[in-house]
Structure 1
Amino acid sequence: MPDTALSDSRAAAVRQRPGLIGGRIPLARLRDLALVPAILIIAIVGQIVSPVFLQPDNLLNVLQTMSEIALLVLAETMILVVKKMDLSLESTMGLAPGVAAWLVVPVGTGHGLGLLPGGWAIPVTLVVGALIGVVNAVLIIRFGLNGFIVTLGMLIVLRGTLTGISGGQTFFRLPASMLYLGTTEWLGVPASIWICLILFAVAIVVLGWTGFGRSLYAIGGNVDAARAAGIRTDRVLWAVIVAGSVLAALSGLLLSGRLASVASAQGNGYIFTVFAAAVIGGISLNGGKGTMFGAFTGILLLFMIQNVLTLAGIPAQWIGALNGLIILAALIVSRITGGKAQD
């Protein structure tokens, strides 16, 4: 009897995997492709608004600025799939490179301490991101605290810490190691774009076509059933939360490299765009649903809309309001296509 229950649980976990390549695509999963026509329409509208829109330089600029927040979307999507939430990603994006800059920027030239050589900047950034993820995981998994409250508290703590170590000022004169990923080009395309596309491609494969990916959907769908199926749920959750924070740290590194500085407010407010992209990309806040492809199209659509609005001369202040309207529209579409809103 237990073997039968185990088999049923594993079968349920497999059914959680959304198909995008090969086989029959479930009707509910067509929502993950729904933004593709919208992206094409925005491209046409953008070209009508300004002939600059489809120029290679403009498209590369859109993709480069998008790539930094896109990594936050990738991280948040993994976390949402397992029915968790991390609001602190935006602060991790600022604090991780901020700590690195604080330690490697020479004294008196860019508000740093000059304690470490510049080559340590990238390792320090990623380690700080991992440590933040570990703290979040301990509080959420080990102590069973509410993820929303924990990460909200961490958001405030990390933001205050960055303000404290920077004195409210901006770190500048960053070492070449911190500038490299945000400024260099590979094959004529900014490195940050390559990094974003490669990581999303890997995530699409992992979530859609591996046992680890199926585990994420199984945990998000029903954690007890996933545990009964032999999935080490706590270990998977640890991996997802820590990986999310490391991705946020990498995102901050890309942004700092492009801007050649780390501001005391770096990342503030980004989490709203991240959730907007995830929701309109078909990611369920109830866990267990959505794809990385959908999340990618969500953030791409948002940045294309922002670029069109900018080229049309519309004030940037209206972009935030538009993101909110898009989220509400996505929830309505979710109700119609899925029969249930994504609460």
Structure 2
Amino acid sequence: MSPAVRRELALVPVIIAALIVGTILSPTFLTANNLLNNVLVNSSVLGIVVVAESVILISGYFDLSLESIVGLAPMVAVWLVLPSSLGGSGLGIPSWLAIVACFAVSAIIGAINGLLVTKLKLNAFIVTLAMLTLLRGVTTGISGGQTLSRLPAEFLFLGSARPFGISIQIWIFVVVVIVVAAFMQNHPIGRKVYALGGNQAAAASAGIKTTKLTIAVFVFGALLSALAGLMLTGRIASVTSDQGNGLIFTVFAAAVIGGISLNGGQGTIFGAFCGVLLLGIIQNILTLSRVPSYWIAAIYGLVILCALIFNYLAGARPRRNTQRA
């Protein structure tokens, strides 16, 4: 059994244990209402961004700016639609066109990140950190530091629709996980992304167009983050000037817990999904137990450290076995 598969399966008993602990601590924890409307719905936005970041990490890069796209993308769309009296541009652009514009802006941001990393050979961490700061400033600037509300119905759909009695956010999250997981494992381009993260020089020698693939990966991550931003806006029926701030730390936590390697070329989307689910369960347990929010952040940090140690040990075991053989 490969280390990646072992790490994924190891999370399953951990998740089961967390469910048992939650049931013991709170009688309302193991109910359909709590698991669906709290754990899964609250994890959906995070999960979409985790999928985006996981694909980028597998390709061997980082993108810290995804959290800012979660805020900027819906802010641009809402700002284009709302009248000036409500803090918007006053242009009155149709909602559908504004949503298209928000995805277009996000794709351009992803393309710029990819070009700076591939063409100028700049460090992805520094490039996307600078982009994060830039986008955060733009989001605050166009909103005037205010929260934009009284949104058109088109923006509320992703937060209020409930196909078959289940929030559409859950459906979107599950579909994204299934489609991206299948693509990464079975499609030739998905396998090329793994090759790119495993050894970029070898991937180039094998005929993979690493520059185009890297740019495409960054664009893909940005588009998924825009979707997550629209989902969050629909759920809270507004878009705030600081929307998405601090999200990237939890994103990396879920990815690392799920077995995504920070060195590239390893990990699966299913593992990342398990990481998101585990963090969502932990947060819900802490909330039901009335643990202060500042302790939740500290516990997240501890979980990340434990995950890093576990991933190291999981990778070290097969190396020792190989040496003995």
TM-score between both structures, scaled by the size of structure 2 = 0.94
SS state at 1:327 partner: helix
Q: Does the CA contact (< 8 Å) of 1:121 and 1:177 recur in 2?
A: no
Q: Displacement of 1:220 after TM fit?
A: 0.5
Q: Displacement of 1:189 after TM fit?
A: 0.8
Q: Does the CA contact (< 8 Å) of 2:4 and 2:267 recur in 1?
A: no
Q: Displacement of 1:55 after TM fit?
A: 1.2
The equivalent residue for 1:29 is 5
SS state at 2:84 partner: coil
Q: 1:237 aligns with which of 211, 214, 219?
A: 214
> Identity across aligned pairs (percent)?
53
**Which residues of 2 match residues 1-343 of structure 1 at below 5 A?**
25-61=1-37, 62-108=39-85, 110-115=86-91, 116-339=93-316
Structure 2: stretches of 5+ with no match in the other structure: 318-325
**1:204-248 C-alpha deviation (Å, 9 max, x unpaired):** 111112211111111111011111111111121111100100000
Q: Displacement of 1:141 after TM fit?
A: 1.5
Structure 1: stretches of 5+ with no match in the other structure: 1-24
Q: Displacement of 1:119 after TM fit?
A: 2.8
More displaced 10-residue stretch of structure 1: 139-148 or 254-263: 139-148
Q: Displacement of 1:267 after TM fit?
A: 0.2
Q: Does the CA contact (< 8 Å) of 2:260 and 2:271 recur in 1?
A: yes
Q: Displacement of 1:107 after TM fit?
A: 2.2
Q: Could you tell me how far apart the structure 2 residues matched to 1:242 and 1:96 are?
A: 13
TM-score between both structures, scaled by the size of structure 1 = 0.90
Could you tell me which amino acid in structure 1 is paired with residue 136 of structure 2?
Answer: R
**1:137-160 C-alpha deviation (Å, 9 max, x unpaired):** 121112211100000000000000
Could you tell me which amino acid in structure 1 is paired with residue 99 of structure 2?
Answer: I
Distance 1:27 1:275, change over 3 A: closer
Bigger fraction of residues in helix: 2
Instruction: Count matched residues.
Output: 315
**1:239-291 C-alpha deviation (Å, 9 max, x unpaired):** 11001000001100000000010000000000000000011111110000001
The equivalent residue for 1:14 is none
SS state at 1:187 partner: helix
Q: Does the CA contact (< 8 Å) of 1:125 and 1:253 recur in 2?
A: no
Cα RMSD (Å): 1.2
Q: Does the CA contact (< 8 Å) of 2:4 and 2:259 recur in 1?
A: no
Could you tell me which amino acid in structure 1 is paired with residue 238 of structure 2?
Answer: S
Q: Does the CA contact (< 8 Å) of 2:54 and 2:272 recur in 1?
A: yes
Q: Does the CA contact (< 8 Å) of 1:279 and 1:330 recur in 2?
A: yes
Could you tell me which amino acid in structure 2 is paired with residue 184 of structure 1?
Answer: A
Could you tell me which amino acid in structure 1 is paired with residue 31 of structure 2?
Answer: Q
Q: Does the CA contact (< 8 Å) of 2:69 and 2:225 recur in 1?
A: yes
Q: Could you tell me how far apart the structure 1 residues matched to 2:192 and 2:138 are?
A: 35
Could you tell me which amino acid in structure 1 is paired with residue 5 of structure 2?
Answer: R
